A and B are shown apart, each in its own frame.
Chain A
Amino acid sequence: MYPVPVEVVTPILGLIINAFVQTFTFRYMKRIRLLKSVFIGFAVGLFSIVLMEMGVWYEILDVSRIDILFILIANMITYSLLGYCYFHFINLGETARRIRILRELYEHKEGLSMSEILERYNAKEILENRMNRLVNKGQIFLKNGRYYIGNRTMLLIANIIYALKRIILGNRTQMQRN
């Protein structure tokens, strides 16, 4: 038995629902912060996928349960990956330096010189934003004028990224960093 077309597009439908719910909750529910809205959107999208799959497979009786299970797993993996991409899209707008520079240039069609860019966006602002975020989320803490590691989640992510960097770039890692 072949899967029906709606079965094929459930991850994409889930992503659309995810984006809609995330945008709605963040825009109109002031108490919900950005990261929380991303999680809510993702959960609602995932739940919608399960409901859609159940609806589709309820109608089709001659498909083995194991086939249904594998298709459900494949669709949930696909949806989770698309959700991960959506989260990063939101995150790019929130934190990416390249996007912020593009936005500054977008607002000044005649262009900006390096010093004009640095007046609007500079290392001081970047560092302040990130230190505030890290302290507010408990990743680092300040004591007697010095910073220490708090929650180790970000450190774990940093170590994974660094390990990947070593695997992919090999000895060029340090060179790139400089």
Chain B
Amino acid sequence: MKILFWGIMSFLSSFMIHLIVWRIHVPEKQTKVLLCICFGTLLIILSGLWNNLIFSSRFGSLTPTNVLEYFQIFILTTSLILSYIITYSAIEADSPSLLIVREVADAGPDGLKEEKLTAELNNDFLIEPRLRDLIVDKMVYVYGDKYRLTSKGFLIAKIFVLSRKLLNAPKGG
């Protein structure tokens, strides 16, 4: 019970902080700031519990009593954080599939012509913003008129190349 309680509490607290921060100002490096908020909150809650200072006397039986329980709270909260951050990527950047479905739904009983989609979802909308994101996230840099991978971009590309090779799957995209 205490593992579920503190795992969910920690995530909800960081979600509230994230909501407040985003309403004031959306940071440029959204994922990085989100990670800092979520793991920062988790660290504060765990150390508060560990030091027996803030919550223990008030929450009695909900206080973790050994290292393994702290570890379980950490794993549960981390999986909540990672799941949210992955879902957040769909909020941060519009997914083309979801946009298509919404456009078709908005067209109503008259249906939607493919030409309308082609005109709206062009390279300026689908490719260039993603390339800009890669530059902001320091995965790509500009060298003359060429785009090149940074070491971080190279590492991430390699992970996906290997995983696709392991699955024997094509390039994707």
Contacts and interface: CB of A to CB of B under 8 A. Distances in A.
Interface of A: 2-3, 5, 7-8, 11-12, 23, 26-27, 34, 70-71, 73-74, 77-78, 81-82, 84-85, 88-90, 92-103, 105-106, 109-114, 117-118, 121-127, 129-131, 133-134, 139-140, 143-149, 154-155, 157-159, 161-162, 164-165, 167-170, 172, 176-177
Given A125-B173, A147-B114, A139 B101 contact: yes
Given A146-B113, A148-B111, A126 B96 contact: yes
Contacts of B113: 145-147
Contacts of A165: 91
Contacts of B36: none
Given A81-B80, A126-B96, A130-B97, A101 B126 contact: no
Interface residues of B, number: 80
Given A82-B79, A131-B114, 12 more contacts: A78-B76, A95-B173, A101-B127, A101-B140, A117-B147, A123-B123, A127-B96, A130-B100, A139-B101, A143-B111, A146-B110, A162-B98
11 contacts: A23-B167, A74-B7, A77-B76, A78-B72, A85-B79, A93-B167, A97-B126, A101-B127, A130-B100, A168-B18, A177-B94
B111 A5 contact: no
Interface string B66-99: 1011011001100110110011001100111111
Listed residue (A74, A77, A157) with the most chain B CB atoms within 10 angstroms of its CB: A74
A143 B111 CA distance: 8
Contact of A85 (B65, B83, B128): B83
Contacts of B105: 149, 155, 158
B158 A106 contact: yes
B51 interface: no
A81 B98 contact: no
A148 B96 contact: no
Given A77-B76, A113-B145, A130-B100, A101 B23 contact: no
A148 B104 CA distance: 6
